[in-house]
Amino acid sequence: MNKRAPEHLEGSVELAEQEICVCAGFRVVAGELLAGGPVELEFFVESLGALPLRLGVSGDSMRQRAGQFDFAARFEGSPLADPLAAAPYMGGPVGIVQVSTGRPWHQPLVLNQFVRLEHTPERLAQGTTGRLDLACQRPLALAATDAAALSNDAASVVAVNLAFDLRRDDAALATLAARLFDEVMQGPLALRERPLALLLSMRSAAHAQIDALTRHPDLSVANRAQQTTQLLKR
């Protein structure tokens, strides 16, 4: 019987051009990795050179997720689709951040917003684990000015491969969905975005809670939940 290869939870590349030199990559945020549950990642950029990097950061308004990222996932050897592959790109907010020595950039991401991880439990027996192989990409212009940061014409590509296991535990998954729902409904308003994003990203794995959120008194929450329920019908 072949032994499973070790997990690879973080990867990075070094990019350099003249006085700009950075280390950039992706890592899995520590936490319980459940099949069907949210998987949190982080995109990071650290400056190693004398000149600060001007980094363009954008959103994808139509898909309600961060812009410029591309993920290709295989679970136990079979591909997992992008849940919003059919949605057109309509642009989104764009900003510039400065990355310098001692001032790195860390961008949180929810992988489920890019990959149908809700399809992983059906490929496992209860209590077993499966391997997710993930190719992560993002263009990164080694820019010293705002104008250059907003142009990907000469951008390098941060490409990293990760591999980690997801465990099927239906009871733990149900408990997680209930906890996130309670945090959205009862937690402080200032801390609501993270549990809301994680819960919505679970899609069919948290369908009862998401359906309840379509009747939330805050219309912004209700509309996001309704958008997710429409996705479930596709």
**pLDDT, tens digit (0-9, with 9 covering 90-100), for 81-126:** 999 887 777 777 789 999 999 999 999 999 999 999 999 999 999 9
Share of the chain above pLDDT 70, in %: 98
pLDDT the model gives residue 84: 84
pLDDT-derived band at 1 (thresholds 50, 70, 90) equals very low
Q: Which residues, 6 or more positions from 189, have their beta carbon under 8 angstroms from its beta carbon? A: none
Domain ranges of the chain: 10-167, 170-232
Architecture of domain 10-167: Sandwich (2.60)
What's the mean pLDDT in 203-219? 94
Q: How far apart are CA 207 and CA 210, in angstroms?
A: 5
Answer for the pair 202, 36: CB distance below 8 angstroms, yes or no.
Answer: yes
pLDDT-derived band at 232 (thresholds 50, 70, 90) equals low
Q: How does the average pLDDT of the chain come out, rounded?
A: 92
The backbone torsions φ and ψ at residue 209, rounded to the nearest 5 degrees and listed phi first, read -70, -40
pTM of the model: 0.92
pLDDT the model gives residue 2: 52
What is the crossing angle of helices 193-201 and 170-186, to 10°?
140
